[in-house]
Structure 1
């Protein structure tokens, strides 16, 4: 089904937006709360496909999660099998739940969407096998698979190559307090992507009472064995999901305010403040939240997005509407996300008349003129990738006739993107 992206042109906007909670924080909090010795209350969690898959997986293994108005109460219990877990196409679910399931008694089966079979999982499986966990995967080191859980993970020192996804490392650190001896994990391989997400994992472990030491010079993280304590948490808004909404002010003019933008956060999306300023916006803070005001035009940017790769589709959409070329570097790992994001962005922006050239680890975007000059309408395919859909919606603000294929994929991290978007731009 095609969704006509609302066209607004240069009609300025003035609005305040409440962004749903962070997927990254919500799913990490769920994993930690499931291991705690006392109940936890997660207030304003993200309710989306990815988090619902995580909740369903935890419930399948015996964790009680009670949903109330804008809160989840998690009551830990001994993990048990047999159980079947559907990971969908959620990276956090397919990588965080298997290590946790190794603490259960009984077989835990994992399966997911067809794309999940292609997404990298091998380093997590190999690390668990190094820790003595038996996993049936037919030698594929990918989904589908069965974790033959014995109720205990010995722990110890391990080496992992997390260059394809920081989630590999986070997955092991998150369950380290529940192992017998704790875990010392050392990364050996290419550059670690998305370091802010690893910092988020470390901070949240500490928030739940874990003892963590970090030696970034040695790419080593140590988490001691010990009891976690349940927490009463308010989940921050998802700052990466704020990117398309902030873009409205840059594309159409005027201002957008994001409510409850945290003063201090480990979320990679916080770097939008610096990135969008460099592209011509003005950013300010006030009692209502973080406000972005668009400039006369959008400026191209030469930037390494290795640590904030999830922002790439939004930045690429703005770059396609800029007044000068852009070079988005250090993002080769995005080829292994929900889809090959470099190939998909290149194909879809070019299908609308754009000029995007991809290489192994970067995108070169040369706009024909500011604010969509030279672009035309057409179908913008999403490849089951929520961030492709929102990128297409940004371009559609000033390019008439853009239709988003399968906009429903945005439910992965945004409960009702079409409704919220239309409320702001129509």
Structure 2
């Protein structure tokens, strides 16, 4: 009986938002019609082309298969950015950011999720039907403001949701978005404008509104100065280059190893690794990157690399990473076995370098996989992080020296740097490349 109860609970969790089920599980007797005011960002998304698709598919089973294919990917993205699914209605989705759990950057999380959704739908591609291909796309509206979050209904039947003008406006914004567009309100724009490139559109008067409102089209992430590596000269770090290149040469001859390249944010760890790796020959490289918003999705960094590398047709040995955890028993043990099998096949062809960027943002299972895996011959793992990684060979990236501050500054400013200015730049930046970039950027903008 307890086993059946556990199965029932797991089944019911699929039909309730996590926030609601947790409340029921804690104390079913306290679940009642109630409300609270919350500041949230709401995302409305709608699949365009779905109506035409349902007319061309043979039966309900095919329709369910197709829509689940799309929404399983959408929900993965929602989870990635810490959103909370409010409801699925037909081919539409409503997601909350800020309730029940609030983050300081909920608007940015919502817009980031929307851009990922648009990209994911495009990657999933068109659907084959007996009458030909049908293109599926998505339109999204996003708005930020105060809502009332409540259990709505009666004591016999209720639904947890949010209500208010913000919700209605979000729905209207989705309605005016073209397929493939993310339309955001001005309150949302004001919160994300430093991170997201947006296009200001003409004011619109939405249904139910007396006055027109300003709207924007979210386009993509802005390229930050720290990412514009081609605009900032590479510091010729001879010690770091010598150590890593010599180690790589040993790996080519049969050695193996794990190196922790560590140092404070902005010192140029990624740039050092990138510059060295792009110049080596005869070694295959796998680039795995930790993502800040998704520390708890099992093996996400590897899954992301697999999709980038192989699309929807990964080798059999890697397909296990793309399955949902509940689909496999003893998942961890099977993953380790298949990963070892894949690496063996690669190493039979060439030496292999696995470059792991932002180690601290890997989920625990991925970190454990790399930490505890065996070290076959001709395999090198270079992992960069802000703190040393235990059990790895430690190699610290240190602040740049004063002579390098002078060289970079004169290159950017295009005039000789005085001793007084050099002292100022060195002390204020503390040898941190990112801080130096900001200082030099400020100087060039205010000349």
TM range (shorter): under 0.3
Structure 2-normalised TM-score? 0.25
Q: Name whichever structure is richer in helix by fraction.
A: 2
